[in-house]
Amino acid sequence: MNLDTLKANVLNANLATVRHGLVKATFGNASGIDRESGLIAIKPSGVPYEDMTADHMVVCDLDGRSQTNLYRPSSDLETHLALYRAFDGVGAIIHTHSTFATIMAQARHPIISLGTTHADYFHGTIPVTRNLTPEEIKSRYVAATGDVIVEAFEGRDPLEVPAALVAGHGPFVWGDTLESAVLNAMILEEVAKMAWHTLTISPSASPISQDLQDRHYLRKHGENATYGQN
Ligand SMILES: O=C(CO)[C@@H](O)[C@@H](O)COP(=O)(O)O
């Protein structure tokens, strides 16, 4: 993909997170990768969204070597890089501090599949990461944040549950494209809000059956998806 197109698409994804109310002030960041060239474009650090242009997007390789030196990349760059390196099919990553997903992350509360709203987009529980060790916080905080997300997905397909709640921090969400990552970030917030309210009135609420989860997830995703077909 042409670099200018990647930067423009990444800018649009960042602005979409604000438009959808998932991000306030300068919180959050979105990035996208062109797998062919191995180049990533990510939001610059601390630039107000209202002033942001495509030229502010920082381009770097998978080792974080910047290809442009004009702006500092998002302070969460190393987390994005760890996820791109570990999760092959991921084409875009979004970090927000959206209210309900962040509440669940702060409460260290995984989001179980309480209903079909969840199952339409997430095939199972949205995990919470382990806490970082004091050593990780001191010496490699941002990269370790990526590592604990990867750890939480051991033996699972990250594209089937395209989100993780980082304990005491907030959600990281991804997708195969920037559009799907934005959509997943919106749905995650909705699902977290519904889970919070469901658990408030019914603290012992349990997941819907595996059959129902499969039925809802698989009709929209994977090789047997029938959604939109006659
Ligand atoms: O996680 C946080 C803050 O807790 C970040 O989302 C936030 O500061 C955004 O930083 P950047 O502007 O991307 O460097």
Instruction: Per-residue pLDDT tens, the chain, 230 aa: give them.
Output: 799 999 999 999 999 999 999 999 999 999 999 999 999 999 999 899 999 999 999 999 999 998 776 899 999 999 999 999 999 999 999 999 999 999 999 999 999 999 999 999 999 999 999 999 999 999 999 999 999 999 999 999 999 999 999 999 999 999 999 999 999 999 999 999 999 999 999 999 999 999 999 999 999 887 777 766 65
120 among known catalytic residues: yes
Distance 30 CA to ligand 1 centre (A): 11
Q: How far apart are CA 54 and CA 32, in angstroms?
A: 13
Q: How far apart are CA 180 and CA 174, in angstroms?
A: 8
Nearest CA to ligand 1 atom 7: 27
Among 18, 27, 45, 149, say which to mutate for ligand 1: greatest number of ligand atoms within 8 Å of CB: 27
pLDDT, position 229: 61
Among 31, 52, 74, say which to mutate for ligand 1: greatest number of ligand atoms within 8 Å of CB: 74
pLDDT, position 67: 75
Pocket of ligand 1 (CB under 6 A): 26-29, 43, 45-46, 74-76, 95
What ipTM describes this predicted complex? Answer: 0.95
Among 14, 17, 24, 29, say which to mutate for ligand 1: greatest number of ligand atoms within 8 Å of CB: 29
Q: How far apart are CA 230 and CA 220, in angstroms?
A: 13
pLDDT, position 230: 57
List the catalytic residue out of 120, 147, 176, 214.
Answer: 120
Task: Please give the sequence-ordered ranges of beta strands (E in DSSP) within 43-145, or none if there are none.
Answer: 58-60, 92-95
**Lateral strand order in the sheet of 58-60:** 58-60, 39-42, 29-34, 92-95, 170-175, 163-166
Determine the atom of ligand 1 nearest the C-alpha atom of 96: 6
Q: How far apart are CA 44 and CA 56, in angstroms?
A: 6
Whether the model clears a pTM of 0.90, i.e. scores above it, the answer is yes
Distance 68 CA to ligand 1 centre (A): 20
88 among known catalytic residues: no
Handedness of CA 145, 63, 93, 42 (dihedral sign): positive
| Domains with residue ranges and CATH for the chain | 3-220 (3.40.225.10)
pLDDT, position 228: 62
